[in-house]
Amino acid sequence: MNKYFPEIRKMIESGGFKPGDPVPPAADIARELGAAEADIEEALKELIYEGELARDIPEPSETIIVPKVTLWGTLGGNHSITKEAKKRGDDPGVKIIGWKLVDSWPSIAKRLGLEEGEKVQVMERLRSVNGKPVAIEVSYFPAKYYPGITKDLFEEKGTGQSSFKV
């Protein structure tokens, strides 16, 4: 865990960042904490991964916000929203809100067993059940193990939207 993660989390919990408002740029937070901007950017990525922060929605952007709503929470490991919704007799939905090929950063490289800087395809999806948002799902695909992966593979209806099925 990045050493600035707890400090930024405290800023969120104390109301320093209001739900729905943009988080200040990493450079501003770095100045405030006397930190390197790269360290703050890494902490922000980790806070997004943990569900403490989110990308601005419905229009995906580089703007990071404190979520306005509490979704299902952070689910780690292997969970199938598609399978769970179908089991309940509900209609799962999906909208890709982010799709980027990036260099892995230290925490994600460690989680995926990669060398820092190896390419990772990052997919952010808004998951819904019966047309209502229930989760923002972030998936990381090591590029060397998923050649040719494209976002359209994950946008189909029914079981086609399941990462497990793809």
pLDDT in tens, 35-89: 999 999 888 888 887 778 877 655 555 667 666 554 445 555 566 777 777 777 8
* Residue the block writes with tokens 């999806």: 125
Whether 121 contacts 143, CB under 8 Å: yes
Q: Cis bond leading into 58, ω under 30°? A: yes
The tokens for 66 are 């404190």
pLDDT at 30 over 90: yes
Measured over all CA atoms, what is the biggest interatomic distance in the chain, rounded to whole angstroms? 52
Distance CA 93, CA 156 (A): 9
Q: Is 31 helix (H, G, I), strand (E, B) or coil?
A: helix
pLDDT in tens, 115-138: 999 999 999 888 888 888 888 888
pLDDT at 141 over 70: yes
pLDDT in tens, 7-18: 888 888 888 887
Distance CA 108, CA 89 (A): 35
Residue 129: its pLDDT value, please? 84
Question: What pTM, to 2 d.p., does this model score?
Answer: 0.53
Q: b vs e for 10-44, b when ≥16 Cβ sit within 10 Å of the residue's Cβ?
A: ebbeeeebeeeeebbbbeebbeebebeeebbbbbb
Whether 132 contacts 126, CB under 8 Å: no
